[in-house]
Amino acid sequence: MEIGAAYGVACMAALKRDATDYTAVDLDKRHLSILASEVKKQMPEKLSSLTLIAGAFPHADVVNRLRENYYDVIITENVLHFLTQAEMLEALSQFRRLLRPGGKMFVTTGSPYVYLLKSEVVNGMGAEVEEFLRQQKSNTAPADDSMLRIPGFFEYVGDVIDTEKFSRTEMDKIGIVPSCNITLLDREIAKYLLEREQFAVDTCAYMPMSSYPWQLDGREWLVIQAQKPE
């Protein structure tokens, strides 16, 4: 199963390598129609192996169409940073519910260590993460998730982008909307959230992205591989 399958880069590769049951979820049904026509053109015999679900994960209308304790693998690349904090917490909980015992999730998502963010945001992240994790271990953490203030979860992306380094015109060009939320995962925060959902974390590591306006210090992306216990 894939969240944010878009035009089907991962899906086509999996179908070519003998995947027999692939569920592709995407917010935008136009992306899924392009995916379906590519499968039809390149591997018509695989159309019956493909289930398409249009809608926003983890909203109920999508989640209710997915199967509990079922999927061998969940993939989501370049998507989770679009979620709000509440959606991210719900997404991780749903991944655990939907994977079969022993099933694995593979995630690539944005980290807060990117060039276009304000230096004070990037430089302050380490101390914020440390303080957050300290609070979670002590009994000073809020009991209710809606009261959590997780470092790297920003309500308005426009508040944290350094407009001196990266102008509004440049934002428009690559489609960044200042009023949107953005959720950027520090490695220790990701590990904490995964372990809270009882995932066994195989990999949680930074990966470099060497393109403008992201390239900073080699920690631009976060790659996660985690398993639901048997």
Ligand X SMILES: C[S@@+](CC[C@H](N)C(=O)[O-])C[C@H]1O[C@@H](n2cnc3c(N)ncnc32)[C@H](O)[C@@H]1O
Distance of closest approach, residue 154 Cβ to ligand X, in angstroms: 16
Of 83 and 204, nearer to ligand X (C-beta) is: 83
* Token output for 99: 């994977």
Of 77 and 186, nearer to ligand X (C-beta) is: 77
Among 38, 51, 82, 214, binds ligand X (CB under 6 A): 82
Kindly write out the interface string for residues 1-20 of this chain, putting x where it contacts ligand X by CB under 6 A and - elsewhere: --xx-x--x-----------
Evaluate whether 40 touches 53 at the Cβ level (below 8 Å).
Answer: no
- Among 145, 148, 166, 149, which residue's Cα sits nearest to residue 157? 166
Under rule CB under 6 A, residue 106 binds ligand X: no
Under rule CB under 6 A, residue 66 binds ligand X: no
CB count within 10 Å of CB 174 equals 10
- Among 140, 135, 3, 150, which residue's Cα sits nearest to residue 82? 3
Under rule CB under 6 A, residue 220 binds ligand X: no
Of 16 and 134, nearer to ligand X (C-beta) is: 16
Distance of closest approach, residue 66 Cβ to ligand X, in angstroms: 12
DSSP string covering 58-125: TSHHHHTTS-TT-EEEEEEES-GGGS-HHHHHHHHHHHHHHEEEEEEEEEEEE-S--TTB-HHHHHHH
CB count within 10 Å of CB 190 equals 24
- Among 96, 93, 151, which residue's Cα sits nearest to residue 125? 151
Would strands 2-3 and 22-26 be described as parallel, antiparallel, or unpaired?
A: parallel
Under rule CB under 6 A, residue 33 binds ligand X: no
Evaluate whether 155 touches 86 at the Cβ level (below 8 Å).
Answer: no
Q: Give the CA angle between residues 90, 93, 96 to the nearest 5°.
A: 150
Kindly write out the interface string for residues 177-196 of this chain, putting x where it contacts ligand X by CB under 6 A and - elsewhere: --------------------
Tell me, by CB under 6 A, how many residues bind ligand X. 16
Distance of closest approach, residue 8 Cβ to ligand X, in angstroms: 9
Kindly write out the interface string for residues 46-65 of this chain, putting x where it contacts ligand X by CB under 6 A and - elsewhere: ----------xx--------
Segment near ligand X (CB under 6 A); pick from 24-32, 109-117, 129-137, 212-220: 24-32
Of 25 and 125, nearer to ligand X (C-beta) is: 25
Residues near ligand X, by CB under 6 A: 3-4, 6, 9, 25-28, 31, 56-57, 77-79, 82-83
